[in-house]
Each structure stands twice: as C-alpha cells, then as structure tokens.
C-alpha cells in the first residue's frame, strides 16, 4: 500500500535542466518544490576519475538502466516493435542533472522561421510544398516572444559565443562570455567557408571560455579543453550543467528537496485536476503518493509522453484518422556531412564538446527552396571535441575492417582526419509517432513506450543536398580524399546518431492540434505542465537544449502566475 506524503506546492518528475529551472524559479518565489528523480545524486566530486572512455562512453555509466525501462521500436506500423536493449541511436540520461550532465554543450536558439514554419513556408512556397502527409504547424509562440527567456537561460548558463551569425534572431544582449579558442583546425574551416562566400562563426558553447558567475551567484569555471564532454560529467565544473547552476540555486532557498532512486509511474488526477504523482523507490521497493498543487513533467521526451499515456490524460494520436495529439509529430534529426583525409597532421585529441565553427547558410529558410524538393536544412559545423582512442579509428572507406592494414591506416589517420557534420532538421510525418506498446512492460509493470519512426523523402532529399555542400567545403579545405555521408534509407536505432528526440507532447495555439499551450500548460488540466523537446512541433537544425531552456523559463513564469491566480494562462 502506498504511503501518502505531505502536500507540496510543486512536484517535478525529473531533476535535469527543466526540472532544475522550475525548481529554482518556483523555490525563489517561495513555493515548496519536490523533484522525483529516478537516478542518484551526483556532482563534480563524482567525476574526478571521469576520463575513462570505456566506462562512460562505451558502457554508458551515466545513462538510463535499460533493464528497468526502455522503448520498443519499429520503422512502420505493419511491423512488430521490439525493445531497444542496449543504448544506440540516442542516449537517455538518468540521475541528478539528467542528460544535461553528459551533453556536449552546444547551445542554440532555434531560428525565427522555426516557430512560424507553417505560416512562413506556405506564404513563400504555397500550401503543397511537402504534401499532406507532413504535419507542419506553428508553435503558438514567436521567436520575439521567446527571446527574453532565451536570454535568461544563456545568462544562467554563461554561454560563450561571438554574435557573428547573420541569420540568427535578434538578441537583447550579447553572449555573457566570449567565444572559445579559435584553433588552427577551426581557422581552416573558417577560411574555406569564407572563400566559398559563406559566413562562419564560433559555435555557441556551454563549455565556458572563462570563469563566470551567473545572476543567481553560481560559478562556472573555465574549460580546460580536455576532450571529455559528451557522455561524461565535467570534473572542473566548466561545462554548464544543472547540478552546478539551477539545482544549487533551488537548494539555497530552503524550499526544495530531491528524492532519488524514485521512479514516477503515474500522474494522479481527479475532476480535471492533477492531484499528485505515484512513485516507487526502486531500492527499497516502497510506494509513495506525493500530492501537489501543481504537477510538472520535466523528464525526457519519451518519459513525459509515456506518463501522460499511462495516466490516461489527453487524446492519443491515431495515424489512421489523424485525430488526437498525444504522441503526434515525433521527430529526430538527420546527419549529412563529409570526412576529409589529409596529409598534414592536426591536434585532434584536444578539444571540448562545443569547440567548433559553424555556418547557417543552409539552415532554416536561409536559402531559396523554390526548386528543391524539401524545406529547412541544418547548421553545418566543424567541431574539435577530442578524439578518444577506443571509438575513434578513422580510415578511408576501402580499408579492411580489421587486421594489420586496418591498424596501420587507423594510426596514420588518427590525427589526419577532419569531419564536417550537419544537424539536419526533421519534419513531422503522419506515420512517425509515439504510443504505448501492447505487449512489453517495464520493471514496474507499466507498458513501454512504442516508437514508430522512419526517414522520409523530405529527409533523404535534404541529406543529399547538404552532403554535397559539405563535400564542397571539405575539398576547399584541402583534403586529399573526401568522403560524403552515405545516402540514408531506413532509420536504424542501433548506431548512435543524436540524443535530439522531439515531439509527442507538442505545443501550439489550439487544443485540437497540440497537447500544451505556449506556457506548456496542459489544455485538459490547468495545473499540469509538460516541459521538454517533446513540445517541439518539428525538429530544427540545432541541438534542442537552448530552446528547451527558454521554454522552461517561460513555463516557470507561468507556474508562479498560476500559483497566485489559477486558471488557463492563455
């Protein structure tokens, strides 16, 4: 039998970036906040021996335990979905800080075009540019409306950047810290792209170029360029993450508590209101009910959608009829690019997760799509993230996959290979969605989330176009051999791609087409909020974290307002 605990003002499900932002802002406003976190407590002192590639990058020390909960996957509705039993295409975070602990730190603002993509695309290219199977919709908020919240997140995180992207939305303030070091590798990319008529700029980074104290009084240290960012915590406290920023801010108020090793299995509700959450401490096996005035889902994309589904909140999306919104518009990203093999050697083993230069000339609608069979594009970057030896064996495509010749080529090319990568935008398609699996359950007896996803004609056309541009840049950089990304066919969940999953709990201006409003308040339950990249009606050409952070600050403002006035915020 579940133990019912004392009621609090706000309960969050998860203690990563979004949970931390909500906790910090609500606690500062005097609200009592509890975060339910399925993983353990951790901080910089836990990462002192973090430079262990096998433990963290190969065996996923910081990631979700898939033996307890995973997702099932299929490409098409007529296939049987099977469980993802090992981490692959994306990496689900767990523990204090969530995925914000093991991220690389790329911190972008989605383009103004992204927020009004349906309106702007139809105005310029007509209503039938992609076809009726693609479910484009505006976000219910504009870039200008969200800009103050972008600014707040960046100043909390101390983001390093150079303000030289001519395609970016207008900013109210410059980046709080200068850009990272412009290395010889980045200068090579800068010259090549400039000579081709493009406009390179330093990638906006949460690996800070200098020590910084944010408006809440939390200090973030300067990056040491050790090359251990993605899949690792930062022992220097130089990669901005929730456990060194918003979580300490929340704790200092005295109004915040985190419950660890606790997995929420249900949102409780009655009479059109959320009443709290039910969770299980998986170490003791005890079950608890945490009542709350306001419930906020701040876990990852997959879990936010799953909790709404198993709690029977909202109308499930039906791909046959197009009705319903919960689970709709799942999107991912595509990764066109090029690899260059050089005669000269580079210092590739030093770096940082967000040390890079980018161009946006082929992102969003920054170029004319009139004669192209796709929309949008992607940010193109050359990043110097640190080449670690186990997973980094770059060899030309005609090299054997093992043996003496492979070893020789791997050693030869370890410091002679550069990559241009693109985060290609993903457009929502009728047949890409999330639902509950009818067969498989997690360790708590709750159905697993089922993912139905495949690449589309839009994806393949975009991938081909951008890959050709990346090859052109790499050749301009002087590579002796350039290899473009292989054309994409069906999506494969096995190899790592990105942890930039979006959709399923999308936002908008109309309850008929979205799950939450532009304060991320659930249309059917005004004291329930859902925050994360699941709110994106489509995916863009960037990492989602900066935009998620901005949405979280707007949501926090809404939660505080709701605590005083109640009712719908729009």
| Catalytically annotated residues | 500
Please state, in angstroms and rounded to a whole number, the distance separating the CA atoms of residues 34 and 523: 23
From residue 238, alpha-carbon distances to 48, 233, 526 in Å are 13, 10, 38
DSSP codes, 490-541: S--SSS---S--B-SS-B-S-TTT-SB-TT-BBTT-TTEEE-SGGG-SSB-S
Please state, in angstroms and rounded to a whole number, the distance separating the CA atoms of residues 375 and 199: 21
Please state, in angstroms and rounded to a whole number, the distance separating the CA atoms of residues 473 and 467: 10
Closest CA to 322 of 430, 427, 426: 430
Please state, in angstroms and rounded to a whole number, the distance separating the CA atoms of residues 218 and 157: 9
Q: Which residues pair with 436 in a beta bridge?
A: 449
Please state, in angstroms and rounded to a whole number, the distance separating the CA atoms of residues 511 and 314: 10
In whole angstroms, what separates CA 538 from the centre of its chain?
13
Which H or E element spans position 195?
helix 184-195
From residue 529, alpha-carbon distances to 8, 26, 122 in Å are 16, 13, 31
Please state, in angstroms and rounded to a whole number, the distance separating the CA atoms of residues 368 and 409: 41
In whole angstroms, what separates CA 201 from the centre of its chain?
22
Q: Where are the beta strands (DSSP E) in 232-286?
A: 256-259, 262-270, 273-281
Classify burial at 389, counting beta carbons within 10 Å of its beta carbon; exposed 0-12, middle 13-18, buried 19 or more: exposed
Instruction: Return the SS3 of 408.
Output: helix
No. of helices (H) and no. of strands (E), the chain: 11, 20
CB 477 within 8 A of CB 469: no
**Burial letters 522-558, b for 16+ CB under 10 A, else e:** bbebbbbbbbbbbbbbbbbbbbbbbbbbbbbbbbbbb
Give me the residue label for tokens 């022992």: 235
């Amino acid at each position: 039998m579940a133990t019912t605990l004392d009621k609090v003002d706000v309960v969050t499900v998860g203690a990563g970036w979004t949970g931390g932002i909500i906790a910090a802002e609500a606690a500062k406003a005097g609200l009592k906040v509890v975060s339910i976190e399925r993983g353990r407590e951790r901080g910089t002192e836990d990462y002192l021996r973090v430079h262990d590639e096998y433990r963290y990058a190969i065996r996923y020390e910081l990631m979700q335990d898939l033996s307890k909960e995973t997702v099932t996957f299929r490409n098409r509705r007529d296939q049987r979905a099977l469980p993802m039993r090992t981490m692959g295409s994306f990496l689900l975070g767990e523990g204090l800080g969530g995925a914000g602990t093991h991220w690389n730190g790329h911190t972008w603002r989605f383009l103004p075009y992204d927020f009004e993509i349906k309106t702007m695309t139809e105005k310029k290219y007509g209503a039938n540019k992609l076809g009726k199977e693609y479910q484009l919709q505006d976000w219910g908020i504009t870039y200008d409306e969200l800009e103050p919240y972008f600014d707040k997140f960046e100043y909390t995180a101390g983001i390093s950047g150079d303000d030289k992207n001519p395609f970016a939305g207008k900013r109210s303030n410059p980046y709080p810290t200068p850009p990272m070091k412009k290395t010889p590798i980045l200068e090579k990319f800068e010259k090549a792209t400039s000579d081709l008529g493009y406009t390179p700029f330093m990638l906006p980074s949460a690996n800070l170029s200098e020590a910084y104290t944010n408006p809440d009084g939390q200090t973030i240290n300067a990056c040491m360029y050790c090359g251990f960012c993605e899949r690792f915590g930062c022992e220097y406290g130089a990669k901005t993450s929730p456990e060194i920023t918003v979580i300490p801010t929340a704790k200092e108020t005295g109004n915040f508590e985190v419950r660890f090793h606790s997995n929420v299995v249900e949102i409780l509700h009655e009479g059109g209101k959320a009443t709290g959450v039910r969770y299980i401490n998986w170490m003791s096996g005890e079950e608890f009910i945490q009542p709350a005035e306001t419930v906020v889902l701040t876990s990852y994309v997959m879990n936010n959608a799953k909790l709404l589904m198993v709690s029977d909140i909202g109308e499930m999306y039906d791909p046959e009829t197009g009705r319903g919104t919960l689970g709709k518009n799942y999107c991912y990203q595509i990764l066109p690019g090029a690899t260059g093999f050089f005669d000269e050697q580079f210092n590739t083993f030093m770096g940082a997760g967000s040390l890079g230069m980018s161009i946006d000339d082929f992102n969003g609608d920054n170029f004319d799509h009139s004669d192209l069979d796709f929309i949008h594009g992607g940010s193109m970057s050359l990043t110097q993230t640190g080449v670690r030896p186990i997973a980094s064996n770059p060899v030309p495509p005609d090299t054997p996959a093992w043996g003496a010749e492979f070893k020789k080529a791997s050693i030869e090319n370890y410091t002679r290979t550069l990559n241009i990568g693109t985060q290609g935008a993903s457009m929502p398609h009728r047949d890409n969605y999330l639902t509950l699996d009818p067969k498989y359950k997690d360790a708590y007896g709750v159905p697993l989330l089922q993912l139905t996803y495949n690449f589309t004609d839009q994806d393949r056309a975009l991938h081909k176009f951008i890959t050709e541009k990346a090859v052109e840049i790499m050749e301009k950089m002087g590579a002796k051999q350039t290899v473009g990304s292989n054309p994409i066919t069906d999506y494969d969940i096995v190899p790592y791609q990105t942890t930039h999953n979006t959709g399923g709990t999308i936002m908008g201006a109309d309850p008929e087409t979205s799950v939450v409003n532009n304060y991320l308040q659930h249309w059917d339950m005004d004291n329930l909020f859902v925050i994360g990249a699941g709110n994106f009606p489509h995916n863009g050409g960037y990492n989602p974290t900066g935009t998620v952070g901005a949405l979280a600050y707007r949501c926090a403002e809404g939660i505080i307002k709701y605590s005083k006035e109640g009712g719908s915020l729009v």
